[in-house]
Copies of this chain bind each other. A is one copy, B any other.
Amino acid sequence: MFDLDVRSRKPIYEQLVDKMKELIINDILKSDEQLPSVRTLAQQLTINPNTIQRAYRELETEGYIYSIKGKGSFVSPSSISPNEEKLKKVQGELVRLLSEAMYLGMSMEQLQKMLEEIEEAVKGGSHDD
């Protein structure tokens, strides 16, 4: 399910954060749905619980999930998310990455197509619940 790559240069907690975001963004994890507990997930993935906790903490500060003491962690309703500051940062990274992709030979057509596919996945996913 999470297929983490221990060999990746990207730290495991960061991979976890990205996977979680992906699941939330694509509406696979729905608003207010409860996430698996730190211990459960740690066992499932045979990963240090500290690492899971680190990921959950990160997701919480970024506004993707919220925690209730004694109950667990839950997906934030998407309306909570819009965040100017964060958007600015992501845009900055995007510009950098798009430039590099073009420089490496990616065509406008390819980029357009990629854009449309992603749009379908994201918008499509968040509508039909």
Contacts and interface: CB of A to CB of B under 8 A. Distances in A.
A99 B121 CA distance: 9
A104 B98 CA distance: 18
Interface residues of A, number: 49
Given A7-B76, A104-B82, A106-B87, A114 B98 contact: yes
This chain's copy number in the assembly:
4
Instruction: Give the interface SS of chain A, mostly helix, strand, loop or mixed.
Output: helix
B118 A98 contact: yes
A43 interface: no
Nearest to A98: B118
The 4 closest A-B pairs by CB, nearest first: A25-B103, A7-B66, A87-B104, A102-B122
